[in-house]
Amino acid sequence: MANPKKQKMSRRKFLGISSCALTTAVVGSQVKVLKALAKSGDISEPVAAITKDVYTSCGMCVNKCGVIARVRDGVIHKLDPNPNFFPKSRGMLCARGNAGTKVVYDPDRLKYPLIRVGERGEGKWRRASWEEALDMVTNNMNQIAEKYNRASMMFASTEGTFSEHFFLQLAECYGTPNTLRHPTLCLSSNIQGFSATFGTNPTPDVKNADYIIMSGANRAEALMTPDSIDMIKTDGGGRRKLVYLDPRFTKTAAKADEWYPIKPGTDMAFILALINVIITEGLYDDDFIEENTVGFEQLAQHIKQYSPGWAATECDIPAKDIRRIAHEFANAAPSAVYYQGRRSSFFQNDTQMRRAMAILNAIVGAWDTKGGLLPNKKIALTKHDYLAPWYDDVPDRLDKGGVTYLSEKDGSWPVFRDRALAADPYPIKGMMVYKQNVLVSVPDRAKSLELMKQMDFICTIDITMSDTAWYSDVVLPEATYLERLDPPENLSGPVPVVAFRQPCVEAMFESKTNFWIMQQLAKRLGPEIAETFDFTMEEHIHHMLKKKPEIYDALFGKGVYYEDTEPEYGRLKGKRLRTRSGKIELYSEKYAKKGLDPLPVYKSPDKVPTNMYRLLVGRHAYFTHGTTANNALLHDLMPENTLWLAPSEARKLRLKNGQMVKVKSKVGEEKLKLEITEKIRPDSVYMAHGFGVLSKGLSNIAGVGGSDAALIESKYCPISGNCAMHETFVQITPA
């Protein structure tokens, strides 16, 4: 946790291993021509072009696949998958991974520190030296601490960089509790719902399950990673079956054995009805429940109200199908899994919906067994301990108490932003951003712009001119993932691995690693903070691996370290889980004590108002969130987003395929092209995420498509703080 009031226990000790940095000798005297070119005094030394293959990890999405960079003549010629065992990438690299070279060699990439000259968002910048830019950042941080409070600085960051912890360390050492990470735009309700049941957020063993149900988890597009292929392949309806629920006919729907265009927001009704059938017909795993769970009696009572007939009217899925699916699921169990997906920011009841999923998996014994939910394993690495300075007057997180279970490091974006806008209970006046594209990722962009407007100072560290960078005062260029030595990353899962990144080529222009930037800021913030960053990356890596030095050789020798190649089933059998009771909690005493429903209680979603549509948003295979749409190689595959609308509705509205339409919600209005398609329910419309950017610094996508963040209202799950991104209604009119 990140409470700056607490002091860390021990200071980190280094092993004193010397740096591995390569050095180059300059022979002879140098005579400059004008500025860039210089003539070496020694003409006998030919310069060898660097040609090498470099193991590293992909940084194009969150999956961190194993990569070999083929460096030819000092340039990354192409990226290949690492054929060594790597369970997440299994010898493959997707389109996004292949497009990684473009990240390094993009003429639009950030090249030098930039300082805003005109008004925010006006687009007037000048180059600055690192020294000037860094001084400006820390001067502003110090001013904000002096004028308001250290907690008045917020630090927003994103996952997957392998360097985020340095950014969070700087926040903690500077003295603010207000870090905003990505989970409440993503999976925090998943984590909460499953952890409340199992004490952890397990990984479904989809690869080995005989029967899989996915609802809204569009694995074949939204997280189309090499291992996704294992998850969605079926054998034509024989032993293995995939049932898929989604208001849209997605690529996952195309790969499924059965697809049901479920009414949005009613997944919980479907799940409760499955539980109802399984319990009332005695299809559950009696022994497993007896041995491993608490609260079955309460569940059995509670579930009576949720019959398949009732659910059919809620979900638009026939009762006979619900019943049959319940039978098939229970018959296949424990090799059956209700896959919880990754992004779970759908509805305000999301945590309870995920609880229902967890409970369904539990009552058929699909836990810690082949084809069921698997508790994650981790390969232990040594943490970097540091002594954060003590500040007496730092208040609690701004969003504390805003939701029932707030993660102290992650915060809750919608709650935090509302309080920051109201300066309640204290003002937020400074913003440090590390690669989180707030204006594209956080729903209700108008509010985010308001938030940015009220800042005395904004600094963004990124590799491209994101919308958020565009509205900043100082922009610092980070070296891309193919130019950095990053610390080892422990990728937990049923088969955990350790991955890492090493520089394939030198960082271009004046871009620097996040670690270097943090060190430089720390130095300027004072010796106490500087001391917590007083090590080299090589020392840091050796420190992390000190208990298992063999990992070092494995990483540099084959790009990956692992101990198992198959999941260990039954690992927690007989062991106490990290819940209050130590068992799987069907009935949550913890929730009851907090005044929450101890068992999932269904509430129908709000009805779609007349002449309006429910806005659905989603990710897809080409782009990762809002970060890669400007990549020309990927942009070629999907140059803009469209608004999906069912043909029957298009006829009613007299709209034609391909025409521009206005999409209006309570909080915003966007224009984009209409796509009339049977692939969506008539009560809903859909648009892909990542378009409609404000920043004109992204030449491929500026002014193209519409922004979902501009339209989505900032509703959220009151238990986890996760955004509820499917609770916005919109009107469609010709543009």
Partner 1 sequence: MLNLAERKKTYQIFSDLFRYPDQPSQAASAQSVADLSQLLHLDFPPELSQVPALREMEVAYTHLFVNSLGGTPAPPYGSVYLDAGNLLMGETSLKVEACYAAENLNLQGSDEPPDFLATELEFLYYLLDEEEAALAAGDTARQAELTNKQIVFFENYLSSWLPDFCERIAARSSDPFYLWIAEALQLFNRMEMALFEKVRKNSISELPTTS
Question: How many residues are there in the chain?
Answer: 735
Contact yes or no for 7/387 (Cβ under 8 A): yes
CA–CA dist 244, 258 (Å, integer): 6
Binding of partner 1 by 25 (CB under 8 A): no
Q: In this structure, are residues 108 and 628 in contact, taking their beta carbons and an 8 Å threshold?
A: no
Query: Does 125 sit near partner 1 (CB under 8 A)?
Result: yes
d(CA 430, CA 442) in angstroms, rounded, equals 18
Query: Which residues between 71 and 100 bind partner 1 (CB under 8 A)?
Result: 73-75
Considering only 80, 108, 456, 597, the residue that binds partner 1 (CB under 8 A) is 108
- Decide: 167 and 436 in contact? Cβ < 8 Å: no
CA 39 to chain centre: 49
The rounded distance, in Å, linking the Cα atoms of 285 and 308 is 20
Q: Which of 124, 239, 453, 607 binds partner 1 (CB under 8 A)?
A: 124
Query: Does 136 contact partner 1 by CB under 8 A?
Result: no
Provide the minimum distance between the beta carbon of 112 and partner 1 in the complex, in angstroms, as a whole number: 6
Instruction: List the one residue from 15, 20, 26, 380 that touches partner 1 (CB under 8 A).
Output: 26
> What three-state secondary structure class fits 144?
helix
Q: Which of residues 613-642 bind partner 1 (CB under 8 A)?
A: 632-633
Ramachandran region of residue 87, left (φ > 0), alpha (ψ -120 to 50) or beta? alpha
Cβ proximity to partner 1, 99 vs 330, nearer residue: 99
The single-letter code of the amino acid at 307 is S
Q: Provide the 3-class DSSP secondary structure of residue 652.
A: helix
**Which stretches of 147-260 are assigned E, i.e. beta strand?**
153-157, 179-180, 203-204, 211-215, 241-245, 258-260
Pattern 498-517, partner 1, x by CB under 8 A: ----------xxx-------
Encoded one letter per residue, x for contact with partner 1 by CB under 8 A and - for no contact, window 448-487 reads -----------------x---------x------------
| 117 binding partner 1? (CB under 8 A) | yes
Give ∠ CA 712-713-719 in degrees, rounded to 5: 115
Query: How many residues at the interface with partner 1, by CB under 8 A?
Result: 49
Of 6, 11, 52, 126, the one binding partner 1 by CB under 8 A? 126
> Which residue from 11, 15, 20, 39 is in contact with partner 1, where contact means CB under 8 A?
39
Distances in Å between the Cα of 618 and the Cα atoms of 337, 421, 441, 443, 448 are 23, 28, 12, 13, 20
CB atoms < 10 A from the CB of 129, how many?
12
Among 1, 21, 25, 35, which residue sits at the site for partner 1 (rule: CB under 8 A)?
Answer: 35
Residue 667 touches partner 1, criterion: CB under 8 A: no
Shortest distance in whole angstroms from residue 21 CB to partner 1: 18
Q: Closest approach of Cβ 690 to partner 1, in Å?
A: 16
For partner 1, the closer CB: 304 or 696: 696
Are 664 and 730 in contact, with CB atoms under 8 Å apart? yes
Least CB distance to partner 1 at residue 118 (A): 8
For residues 686 to 705, the per-residue mask of contacts with partner 1, x marking binding by CB under 8 A and - elsewhere, is: ----------xxxxx-x---
Q: Shortest approach of partner 1 to residue 627 CB, angstroms?
A: 16
Burial (CB count within 10 angstroms: exposed 0-12, middle 13-18, buried 19+), residue 377: middle
Residue 50 or 254 having the CB closest to partner 1: 50
Interface residues with partner 1 (CB under 8 A) are 26, 30, 32-40, 43, 47, 49, 73-75, 101-102, 104-112, 114, 117-118, 123-127, 465, 475, 508-510, 632-633, 696-700, 702
